[in-house]
Amino acid sequence: MLINSDINILGGLPDWNLLSVFLRESLESMRESGGVHTFTAIKTDKSVKRFENAISATLIKFQNPEIEALVRDSLMSEGLSQDSLLLLFWNASFNNELLHYLNKHTFFVSFYSGRISIKQDEVFACLKELSETERELKKWSDSTLNVTASKYLTLLKKFGLMEGSHNKTILHPYLNDKMFVLFVYWITSVEPKPNLLESEWLKYSFCERPVFIERIMQKRFSTYFELNYTGDKLKIETLTPYSTLYDVLR
């Protein structure tokens, strides 16, 4: 597993508008066009560079041009809307193995079991257990692991998946039709397995498998994809180019 500190950095990112800035410009071009502080109130170039690295590696790194089109079109049109934040959550989880691991073993376990909250101690325990097998994580002190647990929950709040300050509670987003279609296109693009029912990313639809299948079979979505469903296998063929999908759904 590739381990880095992006969760800590992004959990502490005070200005998420930098995402849209770094979609358009690099730190170097920002300096050339008036300086970093033209774009953000973050005080030092060193801090901005640290945030740029984490943003570029986790939030706006794209597996392929199709995914880039989905995320970029949403951010450029809507800014940091709840829909855009969900797209960023999916993309970040794909890019950051530690984030995906924590989602899988803490957030989604609680989400699908109907719990209302996740305690920082639970995330710490998950990280501590993982550190027994991951060499890079073994180098982290308990203090760093505890900070990471805290920043992970803060990051989920920034994505719109939890609310509250000290005792954060889990939110249960319902994907509107636009976001449901975008999710189907996203999972189709990132999942290498031909049978999507075997995909570990299916949890990111925020609904149980039977509900997902029932919804995807609805006729109103037939203009966006064709299905081959046999009860235990699901294959999807998308029909709209990714480059125009967002405009079609607007």
Round to whole Å and give the CA distance between 207 and 170: 14
Contact 201, 207 (CB under 8 A): no
**Is the confidence at residue 189, as pLDDT, over 60?**
yes
CB-facing half-sphere around the CA of 161: CA atoms within 13 A: 24
Condensed to tens digits (0 to 9), the pLDDT of residues 111-165 reads 999 999 999 999 999 999 999 999 999 999 999 999 999 999 999 999 999 999 8
Domain ranges of the chain: 97-170, 177-249
Q: DSSP letters of 203-223?
A: GGGSS-HHHHHHHHTSGGGTT
Q: Where are the alpha helices (DSSP H) in 139-230?
A: 142-158, 177-190, 209-216
Q: Cα separations (Å) of 197 from 5, 24, 208, 213?
A: 32, 36, 11, 9
What whole-number distance in Å separates Cα of residue 175 and Cα of residue 195?
Answer: 22
35-82: pLDDT as tens digits: 555 556 566 677 778 888 999 999 999 999 999 999 999 998 999 999
pLDDT tens for 8-48 read: 999 998 888 888 778 876 555 555 555 555 556 566 677 77
Tokens of 226: 């064709």
d(CA 49, CA 224): 40
